[in-house]
Amino acid sequence: VDRSLVGERLVGTEFRLDLLVFQDAGDGGLKAADGHRREESGKRRFALRRGKRAAETEADIWAAPLVIDPVTGVKFGKSEGNAIWLDSKKTSIFDFYQFWLNQSDQAVEIMLKFYTTLEKEEIEQILLKHAEHPEQRIAQKALAKNVTEVVHGAENAEAVISLTDSLFNGEELDFGVAEKLLPVVSLGTPVVDALVESGLSSSKTEARKFLKGNAVSLNGEKITEEISLETSGILKKGKNKFAVIR
């Protein structure tokens, strides 16, 4: 163990939380036990010290706070069961984009300021337009687009925006794009197996529950029985989970 890093870690626990994270993270964090708060602040300070050391070797660093829901004060992560990963093998580009797109109006301003590369003036203009037409979700779209561009590149961002418009707004679907960004299941696969194979369900038992609950459809047609999927198209579970049947 590098004792110098341990020393930095211990020093970090002495810093006040309100000096290290944004005030609007919610009262939830401030109501936590003192030990927990110092632990979290220590993580941030430790990260900054590690970052400074790495900078001496000319490494590129982007430091940001934990992703926290400003409304509830709850962080996003493995311990909360809602982790969002930068690795597309752990969180698909489609699900990554949807995560940012589905942020609430209360959260989107802080997330635009913390997690995008947009200039202050750009963000202000986006928020003004959003306030005039909140139903258009202008701020959420700008947030999702920019963060996806930063993490997965502009080409993937444009592709996932196009796919989202097709799936949710009825625009013509490009199956080439869909197959790139969504799980693909072979034609003729039993629907229960298809749900599990695509990751839309965690088990066959859960898949059968989805069928009974009218939560599964293929090309807009509900599936309630355990049939084989003999038609190409989009398999949908719930409101926003999809797979390609080809």
Would you write out the chain's pLDDT as a tens digit for each of its 246 residues?
344 443 443 444 444 444 444 444 444 444 444 444 444 444 444 444 554 555 455 666 666 667 677 777 777 766 666 678 899 999 999 999 999 999 999 999 989 998 899 999 999 999 999 999 999 999 999 999 999 999 999 999 999 999 999 999 878 899 999 999 999 999 999 999 999 999 999 999 999 999 999 999 999 999 999 999 999 999 999 999 999 999
Give bridge partners of residue 99 from the DSSP assignment. none
State the pLDDT at residue 62.
65
Pairwise CA distance, residues 49 & 225, whole Å = 57
Q: What is the pLDDT of residue 38?
A: 41
**Alpha carbons 12 and 206: distance in angstroms, whole number:** 44
**Dihedral (CA of 21, 22, 24, 25) sign:** negative
Q: Which string of DSSP letters, residue by residue, matches 189-210?
A: -BHHHHHHHTTS-SSHHHHHHH
Put simply, whether the predicted model's pTM sits higher than 0.75 gets the answer no
The C-alpha angle 81, 157, 141, rounded to 5 degrees, equals: 75
CB of 113 within 8 A of CB of 126?
A: no
Token output for 218: 């293929």
Give the per-residue pLDDT at 169: 87
Q: For position 1, what pLDDT does the model report?
A: 37
Residue-wise DSSP of the chain: --HHHHHHHHHHTTS-GGGTS-GGG-HHHHTS-HHHHHHHHHHHHHHHHHHHHHHTTT---------B-TTT-PBPSGGGT----SSTTTS-HHHHHHHHHT--HHHHHHHHHHH----HHHHHHHHHHHHH-GGG-HHHHHHHHHHHHHHH-HHHHHHHHHHHHHHHH-PPP-HHHHHHHS-EE-TT-BHHHHHHHTTS-SSHHHHHHHHHTT-EEETTEE--S--B--S-EEEEETTTEEEEE-
